[in-house]
Each structure stands twice: as C-alpha cells, then as structure tokens.
Structure 1
C-alpha cells in the first residue's frame, strides 16, 4: 500500500499560500486556529456520504462548515432539498469558487472541483467501485477511479483520497499512480454507522411493524440495469404472493433514481405494492435502518447489497449489472456467491440455507478498517487543516428509527383449512374487486373468504366481505361505539354478513356470527427463543370465522389451535362478558 499522502497541495490557486482565519470561532476571528471546511456535493448520494463524515468535526469550535451544490448533475434536486431540511449553511457555487477554503470535502470527482481554491479531500460515493458507465468517463474505468476526472492538467485533483480498502488503492494506481500516491485507507463511515446501529435492530423492526414476520428488503440502484428498471412489477408481485402474516416488504431506492423520478411519481408507480403493505424507505439514513432490521435482501448490482453482506444478511440476486458491472469487483464476487431469485419460495430457502461467512467474505473485499473509519479520517483531515484533532471520543452517529411503516392491507383474501378445533390460515392482500375472491368451500377443502377492516377499506369491499371487523382506536372518543353496539349496527347495515368482529386488544377480540351469540376470543402468545410473538388478531378472526362456518353447531367455551405462518397459537373461545361487550371501539 502506498505511504501516507504528503502535505496537502493547493490546487486552483497556484502557489499562493492558504489564507487562514476565514471562519469565526468563539465570536471573533482567530487567524491562528479558525478553519472553514466546504462540503461540495454534486448529487444527493454524494451529499449523504459527506453527512456521514460530520462527526469528524463535531464539537470543534475552530471549524466552520459550509455546503455548496456542485452544478452539472441530473440528480442534484434532492441534494438541495436535503440541505435546506437540515438547516445547513449553504453558499452559491459562484461564491464558493471565489472563496479560498481551508479544506473541501467531496464524494464525487465530477464537476468543476478543480476551480476551487484550497486542498480537496475526496471520498467514495458508494462501496466497492463496481460500475463502469459507458456514457460517462473512460471505457471500462470504474466510476470514481477514472483518471479522466482525478487528474486535471497533469496534476492530481485531490490532496487526499480517503478510500475504504487497500485493493481500491491498487486499482487506482493502475489508472493513475499520481493520484494513488495521495490515497490512504480509512474505511467506510457509512458502513460504520450500520455496524454501530445493530443494537437498535429491535427498535427498527418495531417501528416497521414486523412483529413475528420476516422483513425482506428489495434494493434497486439507478439506471437501466437496476432492479426496478428491469422488473418494475416485482414489488407488487411479491406483495401479492408472499403470505401476509409471514413477510413484510421494504423497498430501498438509490438516491439518483429517487431524484430522477421524484417521490410523487415513485408513489404513483408503486401504488399497488404500497397498498399491499410495501414500505418505501427514505434514500437518506432510513434505507440503512431498514437494512439493519431486514431478515433477507433481494438485490441488483448496486452497492447497497455490499452493506447488507457486511451485516451478514441473506441475499438473493434478482438481476446482474450487465456491461455496467466490472468483472472481479467486490459486487461481481458477491453476486457469484449468492442464490439467484426466481420465485417467492426461494426467499425461505435462502434464509434456511444461509451461511453468513459466504457474504461477509465477499464484502471484506470492499471494506477494511471496519469500525475505525471516523478516527482514521479525522487524523487525515486535521493533518490537511494543519490542526491538532480534538481529544474528544469519536463514534458514528446511530441511525434514526424509521418512520411508521406502511399499514397492513385493510382487505385480505384468506384461505383456511379446518380439522376439528385446529385451523390454519393463510392471508394475502385482496384484489380490489370482491368478485375475484372465492367463497367458503366447506370443511373438507381449503376455504376462501374475504376479510375486510370496515372503517379502513372501500365500501365495495365491505359489501362483499364474509368477515367484517374493526379495531379499537385506543384513544378517547366523545361518541364511541361499544363493541356489541357496532357489531349489531354492522349486521343491520350489511345484510347477509356472516361474521362481524371487533379487535379490542392485541390478544382479545369479540365476534358474532349472524344469529349466534357474542363470543370472546383470547389468544395466547407464542414463545420462541425467549421472545413473545403475537399474531395479528385479524388472522385469528379469520380462523374463528372458518371454524364457525365449518362447525355451525359448535358450542363455547372451547380451545382452538390456530396456525398462522410457521407458528401455532392457542385461542380460548367463550361467550363474551358484559364488560367485553361494552368495551369502546
């Protein structure tokens, strides 16, 4: 590996010495110590990488941070919006070009960075340098390691290349020995945020509403070889075909693709999948929180898959990168080591057969110095600034808890099988047309019915439902229904309904089949490996509806066993008490 970089060179400003004391420290100019650092972002993805380095300067009153948007990218819109949302101090690019800065940080070598005055530190804008973009840069050169951008007029663009792995320096040296002489390995600050946040996995999963389900993340990079470009219907297909009580889905979209289409357009394109329970993660930070929470990942050749591999997650390849993917790169090696996705059942097989070392070994080719990126980066950047680093502890900022996940579908197509007091339930999101759902077929065959959350679904679905239910809102209401009162009202409003129910608590519901008594069902949680798992009460209600349909003369109290997914729950059924009947919805 090359030796540490020499003293930072000044580019764009000739041999003029670096002006000192541009910033305010402690409310006055201090020529000896004040420094101004410019964060130059060309796109949202580059900005996100720079934001992950902010702890390097945290708490240091000698440093003033300024941001500017480097013009020329088709994907800059979201970067500007993110800066405004963060309240960051920004300067126009024209002003940045006319101001000498003590240090500039960038995560893309593209644009007119050579026109800036002062030393430049360059970080990667992804993981692994895996892509070659035929329409942008030198043929077969890895994006980010292309000498056409890294060397201007025979002079290296950057005073420092802060890379994530020694192999990246070797690849850079093959293209530009002069640039490689200024490169050093610091690690990957973004990966270190994911690794540091692993202890928050349960919080992330709770926010995403996984319960006992497996969380499957779909990752899509940008461009014509991405997962969404090649398989645009895959999220909706998986949402329809994966059992609702066994899986939750989340989609992680590359910031460039998000910027290109815009949030509104993506929401419209993905409307069927979102209605079926898909969560679309934010392209900054939230994608990483979801990755920490995920149980498995379906990927393309985007570098998000390498972060998933570093976490040891099971991966399945949905599509390769074609001519964009450079042979022998970490991503190429990773895709060769993981199964290829073909049908939904492949996901369960991949999870069962997963060996973490297979994917972590592939990721090791992209990430060195795991857990040490910020201290190593701080030492290098403060050397560029000719300052002694502060002695305060340095740690990655933990990833935030995701926003609330997309709600579960409010109408489900349900298949059940009844054997005495044992009932199995499989639910899928319902089609919008209730005529597409089969009716009950009797006790000897899988029976189908439509279950609808009455006050959350369309009236046309409620009209066709065999099971109609509501959930208690959990807060005071000046004019709330009682459970029994609403059930009676629903029977009057929907002639022909077979079963109407109210979910009162995570383990308690009341229900009545037309003409029958008001029953209460209490579900015992399932305990596995020290964890308590509860089913969605709507799934239990479908089991009870199927049992009451198959055995109309059955008497309560009784105990049912209800199998939902891979777990079997005991359900105590008895006539409802007066207190349960009067519970508020």
Structure 2
C-alpha cells in the first residue's frame, strides 16, 4: 500500500489538489489522505470541503510524524519540509502572473518565489507550459531540473465539460440571455476592491431579459468574508439577479456556460479563454498594479483586450473585443490541453514505482445549484414600434423609471406592489384558491394604481384583464427559432407588459384577436392577444 498525502495550505490549493486526485482513481494500492498546512489566513474552509467529501484528514502534527510515499501540494509556502516523502508541487493557478509583495520576494511570481522553493525538497515540479519551466530556471533554485510539463488538470475539466454547456445554462436559468461573468481575484488590486459598485452598475445598464450576470470570486475572498457577507456587500446586484458562483467547481461550470467575461488580473480569465470552443469576448478592468507580473500571460491578455471604464460602456467594450486576443494569451499559459491527467499520472506512478492501474479522465463538472434569485419588480422601458412594442426590463431601483412598474404579486413587498401599473402572478406549487379570471379581477379591485393584471404560465400563456375592459383576455408570447436552429424564449411576464403597452397605445382596439411583435433587445417575439375562453379564465392558479 502506497500512502499519498495531499497537503493544502488554503482552499484554493485544496481545490487544485482535488482536480488531481483522479490520477489514482480505481487503484486500491493507493491510500489517499489530506492535511492542512498551517500559516495561511485563507485555510478556514479547506478542511470543511474534505469533510464534505468524506476524505480522511490527518492532523498536521500527525502528518509531520509520519512518512509518505508522495506528498502532493499546490503551494510552496508553509513548513512543507517537515513532511517526509518525495514532494510533488503543482501550480495553484494559471500562468504565474501575480506577485504578492507582502510575502517572499517582491518581484517573484507567487508559486515561483525562490524564497519558498528552496525550503522543501521537490522531486517533481509539475508545470502547465514550457515557458513556466524557463521562468523556474531563471529563478535559480535548481528546481527546473526536476520540472516536467504536464498541462493543467483544471483546464482539462473545463474542456471535458463543454458538452454540458446547455445543461449548466439551464441550471442557472440563463435561457436565451447572454451570460456575462465578472471575475475578481483577491487583494487590493482586485475588481471587488477597486470597483465594488461595478456589478450593480452593469445590472442597471443591461436589460434583464437580454443579459444574465454572474460573479466568480477568488476562494481567498470567500474564506475571508464568507458567501453571506459577500452577498450583503453586493446586495443591490444580487437583488437584481446576480449569480454568485461557489468557489469549488461551480465557478468552472459557470465559465463553461458564459458568453463573455469581465476580468481583473486574476488567472480565471485564462481558463475561460483556454476552454471556450469559440472565441468569446473578454474585457479588462484595472491594470493589476504592482501585483501583475510584466510579460506574464495575464499581462498579455489585459494588454490585448478592451478596457472597461464606466459600467454604461459595457456593450461598447464587448463589441470592441478583437477575436483571438484572449485565446493567444491562454496559449502562453497551457500546453497539452486535454492530456494533463494522463501525463501527470505517468510522472506520479513513476515516483511511486508502480504501473498505473487503469486509464483516467477528467471528472465532469457538476451542474450549478438551481436555486437562483429572480427580481420581483421591474422598471419597464417600453414603447410602440411600427409592428408592435419594444420592451426592456430593469430591476427596480437601479435604472431610471420607465414606461411602467411591473411587479410579481406575492414575491414583492406591499409598498412596491401598491405602486405597480402592471401586476402579474405565477401559479403556486400547491395551487391557490383563485381562478385566473377571478384573481385578475381581484387585483384590479384591490390595487387602484394597477392598470393591467395577469396570470402567466411557464409555457408562455397567460390570462390578462385591463382596467376599463370587462372581459379577460388570453395572451401568448411565442418562442422563436434562430437561424442556427436554437430556440429562444423569454420570461412570459414580458407578455403582460407588452400587452399593457400595446393596448394603451391602441385605445380604439375593439377587443378582437390581434397579433403583434415584441422587440426584446435584438430579438422579436410574436405576441397573440384575444378574448379568453371560459376554460382559460376558470383555470385554477
């Protein structure tokens, strides 16, 4: 039996090690255990992850007293020399682009600092790209002679999971929207430290039915603050529907699902650029200051992509992206894409003196957690166009007031509900004590400021009632088939606002069947409006 100890100093290092564990999958000759290397301010969440997985944790003092056939770590920091056994060192990020001036050598990349590399005997320094070996050699520690280029196991998980992109988008509730992901590293030069209001600025600028926003935050910030405090700090953006990706695995699934990226100098952007099947836009925020290593892959990326100034300029910045810019930087960070586990397995089994038991492959990323916050009130900017109406919804409170306020009944507070010009509700899971026609009449009677009330179904159908018109009406907003065969749909609540605007602009309408277009961004959806049947008005909600 060979004993392999995975030694993690922080949550981010542990996440990297967990991407490597599958090299030993199916091998009963390997005993796997974990220990927490003391000394980091960001190790608080690390062991909780191992416990959740059911992994065996060895206390640090016990680990130092034992002997192991391999000691695998993803950071050279800490008293690793106290652990007995051949040491394998993996990068804990992509590209070695960042220096931490408060630790070690001010001009050395974190992970390549000779101050730390000289402390522990390294039997194998696994690198992702040949350029990294050259940088290691320039550091003058002698570790380059024991370096091997294997690729990046984390990148390979993203590459292997690309066929699950639609599944991830469905779990996130993205639909036909464009998923824009913001990434923030940790420290004083990070996006969240330099531009804490940027998520809310983008939520105010980008219409809800055209864009979904997600945020990927470095695990160190999750450890420092916790998900709850992060959400409270960013409450306006989260109330507007911003998705906060979990720091282990979910962040990578969100990158696979993403259509575009806004990034600081953190290496997450390299994973996005290196894994996308097509070339998707990347926009930079900030310069990285003294933390960014000149000439590193992230330095090259930020010099090659558009820079975002004010949040209001985001669409212009995305349009200014030059195809190939981000991908070229990623190619300078990753070699042997798709082959990292295979190559690393050969090296590790060589150190163990064993023949590999079986082939291995990257583990697919799990789908993101399905529970997402959806705004319950919108400032609706709308107006008539020659063949219908245009609608752009913004979560209330972020953008200027629009044509009307649309509120989901039962999901918003009383004050905003009283101010709504449009009220709509969705069916409750247990089935409430109303018919569609009955509730729409009740809503108009109970809320004098409401001009249109509607019940919407997930399929796109709805029942409406307009103030001043006695009969209930059926409305349907149809999905559309794009040129490439994809089906695009929009939240059926958009149909209530669209019908409200159309009827208000056609006061001579006789109540007969009508078909018009609803323009949402660059997409047109067909809306059908007619008198509701007795069965439609009597349906329970």
Q: 1:518 aligns with which of 472, 480, 495?
A: 472
Tell me the equivalent position of 1:240.
Answer: 204
Deviations 1:158-178 (A, max 9, x none): 111011011111111111251
For 1:418, which of 384, 398, 409 is the aligned residue?
384
Counterpart in 2 of 1:203?
167
Q: 1:306 — aligned with what?
A: 270
How do 1:108-187 residues align onto structure 2 when only pairs under 5 Å count? 108-152=75-119, 157-187=121-151
1:197–1:296 Cα change, 3 Å = same
Matched, 1:467 2:422: yes
- Please state how far the C-alpha of 1:314 moved relative to its aligned partner: 1.2
Task: Summarize deviations over 1:498-527 as a string: whole Å, max 9, x none.
Answer: 110000233211101113121111222211
Alignment CA distance shift 1:172-1:367 (3 Å): same
Aligned structure 1 segments of 4 or more residues deviating by more than 6 angstroms: none
Shift of 1:64: 0.7
Counterpart CA distance in 2 for 1:273 and 1:387 is 52
- Structure-1 residue corresponding to 2:359: 393
| Deviation of the 1:344 alpha carbon | 4.6
**Change in CA separation of 1:36 and 1:85 when aligned onto 2, cut-off 3 Å:** same
Q: Which residue, out of 289, 297, 310, partners 1:322? A: 289
Instruction: Note the C-alpha offset of 1:356.
Output: 4.2
- Bigger shift: 164-173 or 536-545? 536-545
User: For the structure 1 residues 300 and 437, does the alpha-carbon distance in structure 2 shift closer, same or farther, using more than 3 Å as the test?
Assistant: closer
Question: Per the alignment, in what secondary structure is the counterpart of residue 137 of structure 1?
Answer: coil
1:409 counterpart = 2:365: no
Q: Is the 8 A contact 2:422 2:497 kept in 1?
A: yes
Aligned residues: 535
Counterpart CA distance in 1 for 2:135 and 2:44 is 32
What is the DSSP-based 3-state SS (H/G/I as helix, E as strand, rest coil) of the residue aligned with 2:406?
A: strand
The question of whether the paired residues in 1 share the 8 Å contact of 2:64 and 2:84 is answered with yes
Q: Secondary structure at the match of 1:206?
A: helix
Aligned-residue offset at 1:572 = 1.2
Instruction: Tell me the CA shift for residue 369 of structure 1.
Output: 0.9
Rg bigger for which structure?
A: 1
> For the Cα contact (< 8 Å) 1:374–1:396, is it kept in 2?
yes
Contact 1:242 1:344 (8 Å CA) reproduced: no
Give the Cα–Cα distance (whole angstroms) in 2 for the partners of residues 457 and 357 of structure 1. Answer: 44
Using the alignment, how far apart are the partners of 1:578 and 1:189 within structure 2? 60
Indicate the residue corresponding to 1:537 in structure 2: 492
Contact (CA 8 Å) 2:283, 2:321: kept in 1 or not? Answer: no
**Corresponding residue for residue 431 of structure 1:** 397
Name 1:9's counterpart in structure 2: none
What does the per-residue CA deviation read over 1:105-159, in whole Å, with 9 as the maximum and x for residues that have no partner?
A: 000011110011111100000001111111101130111011111113xxx6211
In structure 2, the CA distance between the partners of 1:346 and 1:496, relative to structure 1 (3 Å rule), is closer
Q: Tell me the distance in 2 between the aligned counterparts of 1:60 and 1:356.
A: 44
CA pair 456-55 structure 1, distance change in 2 beyond 3 A: same
> Secondary structure in 1 aligned to 2:392?
strand
CA distance in 1, matches of 2:306, 2:28: 50
Q: CA deviation at 1:415?
A: 1.2
CA apart distance, 1:262 = 1.4
Residue 309 of structure 1 deviates from its aligned partner by 1.4
Contact 2:462-2:476 within 8 A present in 1 as well: yes
Following superposition, the deviation at residue 354 of structure 1 comes to 4.4
Instruction: Give the match for residue 345 of structure 2.
Output: 378
Q: Tell me the equivalent position of 1:527.
A: 481
Q: TM-score, normalised by structure 1?
A: 0.89
Q: 1:266 matched to which residue of 2?
A: 230
C-alpha deviations, 1:189-230, integer Å up to 9, x for none?
Answer: 000000111111111111111111100000000000000000
Q: Partner of 2:450 in structure 1?
A: 497
SS of 2:45's equivalent in the other structure is: helix
Gapped regions of structure 2 (runs ≥ 5): none
Q: Does the aligned pair in 1 maintain the 2:264–2:284 contact within 8 Å?
A: yes
- More displaced, 398-407 or 54-63? 398-407
Secondary structure, counterpart of 2:324 in structure 1: helix
* Contact 2:180/2:213 (8 A) holds in 1: yes
CA contact (8 A) 2:2 2:30 kept: yes
Q: Match for 2:29 among 29, 44, 62?
A: 62
Trace 1:44-59 onto structure 2 (pairs within 5 A): 44-59=11-26
SS in 1 for 2:457: strand
Secondary structure at 1:53's aligned position in 2?
helix
1:12-38, CA deviations, whole angstroms, 9 ceiling, x for partnerless residues?
Answer: xxxxxxxxxxxxxxxxxxxxxx11100
Q: What SS is found at the alignment partner of 2:106?
A: coil
- 1:443 corresponds to: none
Q: Is the 8 A contact 1:482 1:581 kept in 2?
A: yes
Q: 2:525 aligns with which of 556, 561, 569?
A: 569
Q: How far does residue 437 in structure 1 lie from its aligned partner after superposition?
A: 6.5
Structure 2 residue aligned with 1:280:
244
Contact 2:436 2:455 in 1 (8 A): yes
Q: Distance in 1 between matches of 2:449 and 2:261?
A: 44
Contact 2:198 2:311 in 1 (8 A): no
